[in-house]
Amino acid sequence: MPPEACSFSPKRVLVSKDGIVVLGTDGEIQQLRDDGTPLNLHRPYPVPIVAAGLIKGDVVAAWMDHELRVARLARLDLSAPRMGVDRAAVRRDGAMTTHPAGHRWSHALDAEPMAMGVNGGQVALSLWPDGFYVIDGEGREQWRASIPRGKDGKPRAVVDLHHNGVNWVLTMRDGSRVAVAEDEVTELEPERVDDPVVRVHHGNGGRLVVTSDHVASWVENDQLVLQAALSGPVGGVLWSDDQDAWLIAGWRERVVLRRDGFNRWSGDEVHADVACIDGVAYTIDNRGQWAAYPA
Protein backbone atom coordinates (compact mmCIF):
# COMPACT_ATOMS: atom_id res chain seq x y z
CA MET A 1 0.00 0.00 0.00
CA PRO A 2 1.25 3.52 -0.76
CA PRO A 3 2.05 5.82 2.19
CA GLU A 4 -0.68 8.12 3.44
CA ALA A 5 -1.04 11.44 1.63
CA CYS A 6 0.86 14.44 2.98
CA SER A 7 -1.09 17.35 4.45
CA PHE A 8 1.13 19.85 2.62
CA SER A 9 2.63 20.37 -0.82
CA PRO A 10 5.81 18.24 -0.98
CA LYS A 11 9.08 19.26 -2.53
CA ARG A 12 11.54 16.41 -1.89
CA VAL A 13 11.82 13.01 -0.24
CA LEU A 14 14.97 11.99 1.66
CA VAL A 15 15.56 8.26 2.15
CA SER A 16 18.58 6.69 3.85
CA LYS A 17 19.42 4.08 6.46
CA ASP A 18 18.92 6.91 8.95
CA GLY A 19 15.25 7.44 8.11
CA ILE A 20 12.66 8.81 5.69
CA VAL A 21 11.40 12.39 5.59
CA VAL A 22 9.27 14.41 3.19
CA LEU A 23 10.17 18.10 2.83
CA GLY A 24 7.44 20.61 2.03
CA THR A 25 7.53 23.72 -0.11
CA ASP A 26 7.10 25.95 2.98
CA GLY A 27 9.63 24.22 5.21
CA GLU A 28 7.46 21.36 6.53
CA ILE A 29 9.16 18.08 7.50
CA GLN A 30 7.11 14.87 7.66
CA GLN A 31 8.82 11.83 9.14
CA LEU A 32 7.83 8.38 7.91
CA ARG A 33 8.49 4.97 9.39
CA ASP A 34 10.35 2.42 7.28
CA ASP A 35 7.03 1.06 5.98
CA GLY A 36 5.84 4.52 4.95
CA THR A 37 3.38 5.17 7.78
CA PRO A 38 3.52 8.74 9.13
CA LEU A 39 5.39 9.56 12.32
CA ASN A 40 6.02 13.18 13.36
CA LEU A 41 5.14 16.35 11.47
CA HIS A 42 7.51 19.29 12.03
CA ARG A 43 7.27 22.96 11.08
CA PRO A 44 10.55 24.20 12.58
CA TYR A 45 11.10 27.33 10.51
CA PRO A 46 8.75 29.27 8.16
CA VAL A 47 11.23 29.48 5.29
CA PRO A 48 11.74 27.15 2.29
CA ILE A 49 14.37 24.42 2.65
CA VAL A 50 16.74 24.68 -0.33
CA ALA A 51 19.00 21.72 0.51
CA ALA A 52 18.95 18.91 3.07
CA GLY A 53 20.38 15.55 4.10
CA LEU A 54 20.10 12.98 6.89
CA ILE A 55 22.61 12.24 9.66
CA LYS A 56 21.77 9.60 12.29
CA GLY A 57 18.05 10.30 12.11
CA ASP A 58 18.45 14.08 12.18
CA VAL A 59 17.85 16.44 9.29
CA VAL A 60 20.63 18.84 8.34
CA ALA A 61 19.05 21.58 6.24
CA ALA A 62 19.71 24.93 4.65
CA TRP A 63 16.89 27.50 4.57
CA MET A 64 16.80 30.56 2.33
CA ASP A 65 14.29 33.37 1.80
CA HIS A 66 15.11 36.37 -0.39
CA GLU A 67 12.19 38.49 0.81
CA LEU A 68 13.12 38.14 4.48
CA ARG A 69 16.83 38.22 3.67
CA VAL A 70 17.43 35.21 5.88
CA ALA A 71 19.53 32.05 5.47
CA ARG A 72 20.12 29.30 8.00
CA LEU A 73 22.04 26.04 8.31
CA ALA A 74 20.96 23.75 11.14
CA ARG A 75 20.80 20.19 12.39
CA LEU A 76 17.36 19.28 13.74
CA ASP A 77 16.47 16.80 16.47
CA LEU A 78 13.32 15.07 15.15
CA SER A 79 12.64 12.88 18.20
CA ALA A 80 9.49 14.90 18.93
CA PRO A 81 7.30 17.26 16.84
CA ARG A 82 9.00 20.63 16.35
CA MET A 83 6.88 23.73 15.77
CA GLY A 84 8.71 27.03 15.34
CA VAL A 85 7.67 30.65 14.96
CA ASP A 86 5.52 31.87 12.11
CA ARG A 87 6.70 33.96 9.19
CA ALA A 88 5.41 37.17 10.73
CA ALA A 89 7.66 36.66 13.75
CA VAL A 90 10.74 36.34 11.56
CA ARG A 91 9.78 39.52 9.72
CA ARG A 92 8.94 41.41 12.92
CA ASP A 93 11.78 40.31 15.21
CA GLY A 94 14.55 40.38 12.65
CA ALA A 95 16.29 37.64 10.76
CA MET A 96 19.18 37.30 13.22
CA THR A 97 17.01 36.54 16.28
CA THR A 98 15.16 33.40 15.17
CA HIS A 99 16.38 29.88 14.49
CA PRO A 100 14.66 26.58 13.60
CA ALA A 101 12.87 24.92 16.51
CA GLY A 102 14.53 21.81 17.88
CA HIS A 103 17.97 22.55 16.48
CA ARG A 104 21.01 20.83 17.93
CA TRP A 105 23.00 23.65 16.39
CA SER A 106 22.10 26.48 14.03
CA HIS A 107 24.17 28.97 12.06
CA ALA A 108 23.05 32.19 10.40
CA LEU A 109 24.52 32.35 6.90
CA ASP A 110 25.68 35.59 5.32
CA ALA A 111 25.50 34.25 1.75
CA GLU A 112 23.02 32.26 -0.30
CA PRO A 113 23.36 28.44 0.00
CA MET A 114 23.63 26.90 -3.47
CA ALA A 115 24.04 23.15 -2.82
CA MET A 116 24.68 20.76 0.02
CA GLY A 117 25.94 17.19 0.34
CA VAL A 118 26.17 14.69 3.20
CA ASN A 119 28.80 11.97 3.35
CA GLY A 120 28.87 9.90 6.52
CA GLY A 121 29.24 12.42 9.32
CA GLN A 122 30.39 15.25 7.07
CA VAL A 123 28.34 18.03 5.53
CA ALA A 124 29.59 20.05 2.55
CA LEU A 125 28.02 23.36 1.62
CA SER A 126 28.59 25.76 -1.25
CA LEU A 127 27.72 29.43 -0.77
CA TRP A 128 27.39 32.12 -3.41
CA PRO A 129 29.57 33.29 -5.02
CA ASP A 130 32.52 30.92 -4.52
CA GLY A 131 32.61 29.59 -0.97
CA PHE A 132 32.90 25.88 -0.14
CA TYR A 133 32.83 24.55 3.42
CA VAL A 134 33.05 21.12 5.04
CA ILE A 135 31.73 20.78 8.58
CA ASP A 136 31.27 17.84 10.94
CA GLY A 137 28.00 16.58 12.36
CA GLU A 138 28.31 18.98 15.30
CA GLY A 139 28.42 22.02 13.04
CA ARG A 140 32.16 22.64 13.44
CA GLU A 141 34.10 23.73 10.37
CA GLN A 142 36.75 21.21 9.28
CA TRP A 143 38.09 22.96 6.21
CA ARG A 144 37.15 25.36 3.45
CA ALA A 145 38.07 26.09 -0.16
CA SER A 146 37.35 28.65 -2.84
CA ILE A 147 35.60 27.58 -6.05
CA PRO A 148 37.49 28.90 -9.10
CA ARG A 149 35.57 31.35 -11.24
CA GLY A 150 34.82 30.83 -14.92
CA LYS A 151 36.99 31.91 -17.82
CA ASP A 152 35.06 35.19 -17.94
CA GLY A 153 35.97 35.89 -14.31
CA LYS A 154 32.38 35.54 -13.12
CA PRO A 155 31.20 33.15 -10.37
CA ARG A 156 29.83 29.78 -11.45
CA ALA A 157 26.52 28.74 -9.89
CA VAL A 158 26.74 25.30 -8.25
CA VAL A 159 23.75 23.04 -9.01
CA ASP A 160 25.02 19.74 -7.56
CA LEU A 161 27.43 18.65 -4.85
CA HIS A 162 28.32 14.94 -4.61
CA HIS A 163 30.99 12.87 -2.85
CA ASN A 164 32.49 10.26 -5.20
CA GLY A 165 34.24 8.28 -2.47
CA VAL A 166 37.44 10.33 -2.74
CA ASN A 167 36.59 13.99 -3.33
CA TRP A 168 33.63 16.31 -3.40
CA VAL A 169 32.56 16.89 -7.01
CA LEU A 170 30.70 20.09 -7.88
CA THR A 171 28.70 20.55 -11.08
CA MET A 172 28.01 24.10 -12.24
CA ARG A 173 25.06 25.50 -14.15
CA ASP A 174 27.29 25.97 -17.22
CA GLY A 175 28.16 22.24 -17.17
CA SER A 176 31.69 22.66 -15.82
CA ARG A 177 32.81 20.36 -12.99
CA VAL A 178 35.47 20.54 -10.29
CA ALA A 179 36.79 18.05 -7.72
CA VAL A 180 37.45 19.68 -4.35
CA ALA A 181 39.83 18.26 -1.75
CA GLU A 182 41.16 19.90 1.39
CA ASP A 183 44.34 21.08 -0.32
CA GLU A 184 43.44 21.06 -4.02
CA VAL A 185 40.71 22.03 -6.49
CA THR A 186 40.87 20.25 -9.86
CA GLU A 187 38.94 21.05 -13.02
CA LEU A 188 37.23 17.96 -14.48
CA GLU A 189 35.85 17.20 -17.92
CA PRO A 190 32.66 19.28 -18.33
CA GLU A 191 29.28 17.80 -19.10
CA ARG A 192 28.59 17.61 -22.84
CA VAL A 193 25.49 19.79 -22.81
CA ASP A 194 24.24 22.70 -24.89
CA ASP A 195 21.90 24.19 -22.31
CA PRO A 196 22.31 25.09 -18.62
CA VAL A 197 22.38 22.20 -16.16
CA VAL A 198 19.54 22.37 -13.62
CA ARG A 199 20.07 19.12 -11.70
CA VAL A 200 22.30 16.04 -11.45
CA HIS A 201 21.41 12.69 -9.87
CA HIS A 202 23.78 9.88 -8.95
CA GLY A 203 23.44 6.10 -8.71
CA ASN A 204 25.21 2.84 -9.48
CA GLY A 205 24.51 3.48 -13.15
CA GLY A 206 26.56 6.69 -13.17
CA ARG A 207 24.77 10.04 -13.20
CA LEU A 208 21.75 11.63 -14.86
CA VAL A 209 22.26 15.23 -15.99
CA VAL A 210 19.12 17.28 -16.65
CA THR A 211 19.26 20.58 -18.55
CA SER A 212 16.94 23.56 -18.72
CA ASP A 213 15.43 22.34 -22.00
CA HIS A 214 14.27 19.16 -20.16
CA VAL A 215 16.79 16.80 -21.75
CA ALA A 216 18.08 14.01 -19.49
CA SER A 217 21.54 12.65 -20.32
CA TRP A 218 22.69 9.36 -18.82
CA VAL A 219 26.46 9.50 -18.28
CA GLU A 220 28.50 6.48 -17.17
CA ASN A 221 32.30 6.56 -16.84
CA ASP A 222 32.12 9.99 -18.51
CA GLN A 223 30.54 8.41 -21.61
CA LEU A 224 27.04 9.21 -22.84
CA VAL A 225 24.79 6.15 -22.58
CA LEU A 226 21.45 7.61 -23.62
CA GLN A 227 19.52 10.85 -23.87
CA ALA A 228 15.80 11.44 -23.47
CA ALA A 229 13.72 14.53 -24.21
CA LEU A 230 11.22 14.95 -21.38
CA SER A 231 7.87 16.72 -21.47
CA GLY A 232 8.71 19.29 -18.81
CA PRO A 233 10.59 19.99 -15.58
CA VAL A 234 11.83 17.02 -13.54
CA GLY A 235 10.53 16.61 -10.00
CA GLY A 236 12.80 13.80 -8.88
CA VAL A 237 15.02 10.96 -10.06
CA LEU A 238 15.88 7.58 -8.53
CA TRP A 239 18.37 4.93 -9.70
CA SER A 240 16.90 1.42 -9.55
CA ASP A 241 19.39 -1.44 -9.16
CA ASP A 242 16.57 -3.94 -9.73
CA GLN A 243 15.66 -2.47 -13.10
CA ASP A 244 19.14 -1.19 -14.01
CA ALA A 245 17.38 2.03 -14.95
CA TRP A 246 16.61 5.60 -13.93
CA LEU A 247 13.10 6.31 -12.63
CA ILE A 248 12.10 9.88 -13.44
CA ALA A 249 9.18 11.71 -11.83
CA GLY A 250 8.30 14.46 -14.24
CA TRP A 251 5.76 17.01 -15.37
CA ARG A 252 2.58 14.99 -15.93
CA GLU A 253 4.64 11.94 -16.80
CA ARG A 254 6.69 9.13 -15.31
CA VAL A 255 9.67 7.78 -17.26
CA VAL A 256 11.84 4.68 -16.94
CA LEU A 257 15.16 5.24 -18.70
CA ARG A 258 16.90 1.96 -19.59
CA ARG A 259 20.05 1.28 -21.60
CA ASP A 260 17.99 0.10 -24.57
CA GLY A 261 15.52 2.98 -24.52
CA PHE A 262 12.79 4.38 -22.32
CA ASN A 263 9.12 4.03 -21.44
CA ARG A 264 6.81 6.94 -20.69
CA TRP A 265 3.49 7.01 -18.81
CA SER A 266 1.51 10.24 -19.16
CA GLY A 267 -1.01 11.53 -16.63
CA ASP A 268 -2.49 14.60 -15.01
CA GLU A 269 -0.22 14.70 -11.97
CA VAL A 270 2.74 17.01 -11.45
CA HIS A 271 5.25 14.78 -9.66
CA ALA A 272 7.44 16.23 -6.90
CA ASP A 273 9.77 13.27 -6.32
CA VAL A 274 10.28 9.51 -6.53
CA ALA A 275 11.53 7.33 -3.66
CA CYS A 276 11.93 3.69 -2.69
CA ILE A 277 10.00 2.89 0.50
CA ASP A 278 9.82 -0.60 2.00
CA GLY A 279 11.24 -2.04 -1.23
CA VAL A 280 8.72 -0.34 -3.56
CA ALA A 281 9.27 2.71 -5.76
CA TYR A 282 6.64 5.43 -5.36
CA THR A 283 6.10 8.88 -6.79
CA ILE A 284 4.61 11.70 -4.75
CA ASP A 285 2.75 14.46 -6.57
CA ASN A 286 2.31 18.13 -5.71
CA ARG A 287 -0.96 17.33 -3.88
CA GLY A 288 0.88 14.99 -1.51
CA GLN A 289 -0.55 11.80 -3.06
CA TRP A 290 1.66 8.71 -3.42
CA ALA A 291 1.44 6.16 -6.25
CA ALA A 292 3.42 3.02 -7.04
CA TYR A 293 5.83 3.48 -9.90
CA PRO A 294 5.17 1.55 -13.14
CA ALA A 295 7.39 -1.51 -13.58
d(CA 277, CA 73) in angstroms, rounded, equals: 27
Q: Are residues 97 and 1 in the same domain?
A: yes
Instruction: Please determine, for residue 151, whether its predicted confidence score (pLDDT) is greater than 90.
Output: no
d(CA 113, CA 109) in angstroms, rounded, equals: 8
Q: Are residues 5 and 101 in the same domain?
A: yes
Residue among 89, 90, 83 nearest 29 (CA): 83
Say if 201 falls within a structural domain. Answer: no
Of 85, 109, 133, the residue that ends a domain is: 109
Total domain count for the chain? 3
Say if 198 falls within a structural domain. Answer: no
Q: What are the pLDDT digits (tens) for 264-290?
A: 999 999 999 999 999 999 999 999 999
- CATH code, domain carrying 43: 2.40.128
| Amino acid in position 241 | D
Say if 256 falls within a structural domain. Answer: yes
Quick check: helix, strand or coil at residue 88? helix
Positions of E strands within 98-233? 103-108, 113-119, 122-127, 131-136, 141-146, 158-163, 168-172, 177-181, 184-188, 197-203, 206-211, 215-220, 223-229
Domain that holds residue 236: 212-295
Q: Are residues 14 and 87 in the same domain?
A: yes
Q: What percent of the chain has pLDDT over 90?
A: 90
Q: What are the pLDDT digits (tens) for 222-240?
A: 999 999 999 999 999 999 9
Enumerate the β-bridge partners of residue 25. none
Q: Are residues 105 and 120 in the same domain?
A: no
Of 190, 222, 243, the residue that ends a domain is: 190
pTM assigned to the model: 0.94
Task: Kindly tell me the sign of the dihedral angle through the C-alpha atoms of 17, 236, 247, 123.
Answer: negative
Quick check: helix, strand or coil at residue 96? helix
- CATH code, domain carrying 133: 2.40.10.480
Residue among 213, 243, 238 nearest 228 (CA): 213
